[in-house]
Structure 1
């Protein structure tokens, strides 16, 4: 079955809805409920782990050698490190992101006493007071503080508000959906990836698509802190494709258009055969694509492998300009990704041996070394 048409309006509405829900790592219950309800509305049965990672299985022709599509619902954020004597809050980041992009951010502080609004500011924020010192202040989390939009002139007044060390701080996304297809917002990593997966499921259900194996749609809740898909895979999953952001920047091949297929990240190469298949599907289905290598990046795939799961992994991405900052993407990439997911879900199983956890050489994969071996005078084995 070829790639399926994607409902762009549905994809955009899902992304808008996801961006409205604060979900920094550690504060994901609400977004988990939101995504779970949409999956159920689409006709899938939802199962949650103890902490709230989501698994929704769409049944195929068989259970063995299942495929997983994974994205993460958690985002960057911050946490209260200390209550300061000047009535402001010291912060530590949730996830890896620069305080350069935190300066000026509007936020919500979630405390047991209620939610408070606030702004992250540099320690020297007023040019009328500090003159040129505002430009020489170093960049870093030690050089910003959160101003609370409530009566908080000292530590005692912060205490009366009920704000405590460890409270979660969510950063406003402030999204803009432009008529030319560009989308600018914080937290497109990875709310956009979640919207892509939902749009792909929507297309599969709308077309009553039959897949050769079960498809496990997974949504993790702690990818931004490195945990990701460590504990959500079951033994019948043989391959896992992660959907996340690719970094569009000088020196990178990623693009805000089409699919960017990651060949490697900081943990090493992705599975040779699975990645090759995804490239071939792009070619066969005329989906624009490019390849890239990410040196300072890891995804749900890395956490799954490091946790000991013996699965083939790959990473397909939408190009993001200024990742983990003021992010920008284009709808063309989101649509292309969703199309590739539908094509992959319906594609034939090629490595039948993968249905077994362990097996002999028969049916084991080959990498294209036969010609090189012949040139070196080495006799290659016949196909098993």
Structure 2
């Protein structure tokens, strides 16, 4: 397997640059431009779709069966729901996240004329006024409001400043890069994944490595609202790996170090053969990994398959604590993800039949069904069942 050097400084700097660009779903033009410019700096040819999703292709030793690696550049955010008579703004979320994590957030509201800074606050924000009611009020998007840092006291004043229903609101990431290797920030989902993908791409290019087959590096712009990869794939792609966050919490197997391979999410299991290929690559390359199942989670894979793509899918994640909140990841996880993506891009094709969209049984895959053999299987059965008949 070809060895490519992971540039950790580039990974960190790229993540910092991505986090500095507001990009809630629907307001992604600026970050699409930045990614395009960065691909140009790396010497990679790319194209943008009408709305700004990005396709970059590294030519392989063979064209097919083409592979794809996808991450998303859009993030969570909010929009103006209505202008309130107290001079504040009601908001609705972009993507699925709790208003609990919006309370106290600094943010930027973008109007057609310009932007304004502000803070999202609970309706009852002052203990000096509401006493214990600040601790008993409900947690929901109906119970928060945006206080803008402008001198307005009614809806008319907001209107005079050009603020209108539907204006986009970007939440400040507030990133911290800790000497221990931890990174704490909002929007690590999925800007940390984008940084890892670009780092892997840079390593391949600088090592002058040609992928085994054509490999597309895709950047979607609407994953957080569920439709990210529904129209970005080309017809020659036979397998796709989504790079996204893996939720760390009690009851989950994800970690903030190594690679976490998603075996299934709320839409069901990922492709058996592609996922096991990634397991084999981790073991062969000495990349630390763990497996996990996510019950309240979906990725660009789901939107691709729901959009009609007949592709094998797998999920490569970097473990994040407090996903969709104040997130935390470790550099080790991002480096491990980049290493696995390089190993995948340079690995041999195992299912040659995938070069064609359909065919007969010749070359079709199989899955093991026979019982696992064990030298002490009879002894084990005796210990378990004693003299009981085993049918």
- TM-score normalized with structure 2 length: 0.94
Distance 1:135 1:225 in 2: 31
Distance 1:161 1:52 in 2: 29
Q: Secondary structure of the equivalent of 1:52?
A: coil
Alignment correspondent of 1:147: 147
Alignment correspondent of 1:377: none
Distance 1:159 1:211 in 2: 54
Distance 2:62 2:147 in 1: 55
CA deviation after TM superposition for structure 1 residue 3, in Å:
4.8
Alignment correspondent of 2:378: none
Matches within 5 A, 1:77-96: 77-96=77-96
Distance 1:80 1:177 in 2: 31
- Cα RMSD (Å): 1.2
Alignment correspondent of 2:266: 266
- TM-score normalized with structure 1 length: 0.96
Alignment correspondent of 1:119: 119
Alignment correspondent of 1:54: 54
CA deviation after TM superposition for structure 1 residue 212, in Å:
1.4
Query: Which structure 2 segments of 5+ residues have no match?
Result: 373-391
Alignment correspondent of 1:70: 70
Q: Secondary structure of the equivalent of 2:275?
A: helix
CA deviation after TM superposition for structure 1 residue 2, in Å:
3.9
Distance 1:269 1:3 in 2: 31
Q: Secondary structure of the equivalent of 1:368?
A: coil
Alignment correspondent of 2:237: 237
Alignment correspondent of 2:379: none
Alignment correspondent of 1:183: 183
Matches within 5 A, 1:104-115: 104-115=104-115
Alignment correspondent of 1:134: 134
Distance 2:371 2:109 in 1: 61
Alignment correspondent of 1:334: 334
Alignment correspondent of 2:16: 16
1:192-218 superposed Cα distances (whole Å, 9 cap, x missing partner): 000000000010011011211011000
CA deviation after TM superposition for structure 1 residue 63, in Å:
1.5
Is the Cα contact below 8 Å between 1:3 and 1:340 reproduced in 2? no
1:212-261 superposed Cα distances (whole Å, 9 cap, x missing partner): 10110000000000001000001100000000000000000000000000
Distance 2:158 2:152 in 1: 5
CA deviation after TM superposition for structure 1 residue 371, in Å:
4.6
| Alignment size in residue pairs | 374
**2:349 is the alignment partner of 1:346:** no
Distance 2:333 2:358 in 1: 37
